[in-house]
Chain A
Amino acid sequence: MPAKRIKKTPMLERNAKLRATDFMEVNEGYSKAAAAFEAERCLRCQDPICVAGCPVHIPIPEFIHEIAAGNMPRAAEILRSANPLPAVCGRVCPQEDQCEKVCHMAKRFKPVGIGYLERYVADWERAQPKSEDAKKPTRSQRIAVVGAGPAGLVCAGDLARLGYPVTIYEGLHAPGGVLRYGIPEFRLPNEILDWEIDQLRALGVEIVCNVVVGKTLQLDDLFDKMGYSAVFIGTGAGLPKFLGIPGENFNGVYSANEFLTRINLMQSYKFPETDTPLYIGKRVAVIGAGNTAMDAIRSALRVGAEKGMSIYRRSQKEMTARVEEYHHALEEGVEFHWLTNPIEIIGNDKGMVTGVKCARMELGKQDESGRARPIPIKGSEFVIPLDNIVLSLGNSPNPLLVNNTPGLEKNKHGCLIMKNDTPQTSKKWVYAGGDAVTGAATVILAAGAGKDAAAAIHKDLSEVVV
């Protein structure tokens, strides 16, 4: 193999110093030449194990082959038929743990840049004049989707393609779920999300914002009063966890959800041009080291923090953030305090946070999560002075809908209980998928669940005699 084929063709990235001051995308995408070059690296294996590594089984060698052959429309078609959100997943999928992890090329060299190529095809498609024609529904059974995150959007899109009239009800004032309020624009520009949503609208999907099902409407109303034949629940996992340590309600202590929502959904980084304020001090720490934590702390630097840190009670090995995000954070100057556990948040008499008291930890035996359990070292307490703390401890499903809906069952983690691994809930004609079922997971799993549910709804509806 020629030496230059050994490595993955690099993605152009904006300079770390420059980009750390704005919200423009960090990765710039492949050029045509780079994409063609990278596509040639794929071995077109007899047993394309990469496909098994992808949760929605995109026929990876096939679309990559079309890139190499210069047949972009065909590449786009193959890709989109398997994954309705390629521009999003090509950007935010944890590829290194999925398709690229198992790629045969990865055994001796570096894996094929499947995610980068996926993104390249999707971006090419977006640049083409109009891809889907406006459609009129051809069926009479109407379907309601609750929540406009990736699960709901994908489910709605697939059902609309099958000819069903579909309405999405979304609680916030804009659709997209975490893609809108959580993931910052430097990783996923709003423009891309807006384009995907426009595609859905062109398919005839109706999106009604400012409706919380469980409050504005009850789930049963969708059937009884409004005449929908089936409902898909894609309400996500939007309930933030807190530490339960003293001082968490000091001003300047945010949940990652609040912090990111202010920045992304409310665009507070443009304040006072926009109306929602954000408080940012000089020294900011995020508690946690997952993707959400990286998004929060990198955002903090972009809105003016001088020092950004991540405080994590385990070690780098156990961190859950994607490697690429971790590296981007390092490049942008984020400091990592491993094996450091917050035990108390400290504030002043005005109610503002001034720091966090932490204990140093050492790693013990594996715990139930399969990771080494962190144990505090006696007498190791120390204080890190801070102006802001962002708690990024994970999210669980929002109980609002389930608690208000008789007959809908959830487990002890708040996740919806499904009928033997089908997309069906404990309630007839109510389907679900995404984080509401699995707990906080990934975009591609949510998208895949939306797809599966659309197929199940179609199958079940086709079996009833109308």
Chain B
Amino acid sequence: MPKIIEKRVLTPITKMFRFDAPMIASAARPGQFVILRVREGGERIPLTIADFDAKSGVVTIVVQEVGVTSRILGAHKVGDNILDVLGPLGEPAHIPPGGHVVGIGGGFGSAALWCLMRELKERGDRTTVILGARHDHLLLLIDELREVCDNLELCTDDGSVGFKGLVTERLQQLMDGPGKPDHVIAIGPMPMMRAIANTTRDTGIATQVSMDPLMIDGTGMCGCCRVSVGDDVKFACVDGPLFDAAKVDFDEAVKRNKMYVKEEKLAAERQQKIMEEATHAS
């Protein structure tokens, strides 16, 4: 059971954890993820590996609290153990070296870009990161990302910081200007990734998106995570999670992720009550 050694509250619903997991830390590559469980009878949820360090054996994740499991995890403290952590899973990111890579992150996507952009910069690629959010205080890990890329761009819907507008608009400006990307990698909410896929479609800019379908085992055993990519059906947990943006069937992916909305709501309300009662009692 990996022990949490550091916790940071990034936004009221976004927490960063570092935990001890030497085997995962020494095998991990950027683009991969872990699957964890927080209690007996608990769900297995996938979370991207935001950072890892083979030497210290520490793995970093960033979790956004959206439902039962992410909320329970979010309430974990330094010194707590995470019941089960499996990883690293999925295929690492493969980006041909030497080009200009633009990483675009929304929500927990910023975290996923962290170790990836560092590695690309260290090997000599030109790196740009575009982060997008509604307001400035929802932008995550700005300082960390600034350190690991050549150029950090912030976009907010309300203009509270950086470029006022969507990440796709800023990306379009880059594409039209001298800093044209050779490679785009987008990690974030489905609508954002779909919009980016549409922006670079037919431009010849290789674009990858990190799909986040529902998963169970994460080893290719159940097929829950299937995603249509061109004419193929892929298992995101073993073939992905990164796929060619132009080929992904986003319509289907969005619908598949909504499969259990009713059940998740029921479970979240139940859990909320349990957690509230626990705080009242203590």
Give chain A's interface residues, CB within 8 Å of chain B: 171-173, 181, 209-212, 215-218, 238-240, 242, 248-249, 251-252, 254-255, 257-258, 261-262, 266-267, 270-277, 279, 350-351, 398-400
**In the complex, A266 Cα to B69 Cα: how many Å?**
14
**Hey, which chain B residues are within 8 Å of A173, CB to CB?**
37, 44, 83-84, 86
Known A215-B87, A216-B86, A270-B41; contact A258-B260, beta-carbon cutoff 8 A: no
Q: List 19 A-B contacts (CB under 8 A).
A: A211-B86, A212-B86, A212-B219, A215-B27, A215-B87, A215-B89, A216-B23, A217-B23, A239-B221, A249-B226, A249-B252, A255-B222, A255-B223, A255-B224, A266-B43, A275-B69, A277-B263, A398-B220, A400-B220
| A216-B88, A242-B233, A400-B220 known, 15 other contacts, Cβ within 8 Å | A173-B83, A209-B84, A212-B219, A238-B221, A240-B222, A249-B226, A255-B224, A257-B222, A266-B216, A270-B41, A271-B263, A272-B266, A276-B44, A398-B221, A400-B219
Total A-B residue pairs with C-beta atoms closer than 8 Å?
Answer: 115
- Do A251 and B27 have beta carbons less than 8 Å apart? no
- Do B24 and A216 have beta carbons less than 8 Å apart? yes
**In the complex, A282 Cα to B77 Cα: how many Å?**
43
A265 CB to closest chain B CB, in angstroms?
Answer: 8
**Hey, which chain A residues are within 8 Å of B259, CB to CB?**
251-252, 279
**Hey, which chain A residues are within 8 Å of B263, CB to CB?**
271-272, 277, 279
Give chain B's interface residues, CB within 8 Å of chain A: 23-24, 27, 37, 39, 41-44, 68-69, 83-89, 216-217, 219-224, 226, 228, 233, 238, 252, 255-256, 258-260, 263-264, 266-267, 270
**Hey, which chain B residues are within 8 Å of A262, CB to CB?**
216
Determine chain B's interface SS by DSSP, over half rule. mixed
- Do A216 and B221 have beta carbons less than 8 Å apart? no
- Do A275 and B228 have beta carbons less than 8 Å apart? no
The answer, among B87, B224, B266, for a CB contact under 8 Å with A216, is B87
Closest-by-CB residue of A relative to B84 is A173
**In the complex, A274 Cα to B42 Cα: how many Å?**
6
- Do A171 and B233 have beta carbons less than 8 Å apart? no
**Hey, which chain B residues are within 8 Å of A209, CB to CB?**
84
- Do B84 and A249 have beta carbons less than 8 Å apart? no
**Hey, which chain A residues are within 8 Å of B84, CB to CB?**
173, 209-210
The answer, among B43, B86, B219, for a CB contact under 8 Å with A276, is B43
**In the complex, A48 Cα to B263 Cα: how many Å?**
56
- Do A350 and B223 have beta carbons less than 8 Å apart? no
- Do A267 and B224 have beta carbons less than 8 Å apart? no
**Hey, which chain A residues are within 8 Å of B68, CB to CB?**
275
Closest-by-CB residue of A relative to B252 is A249
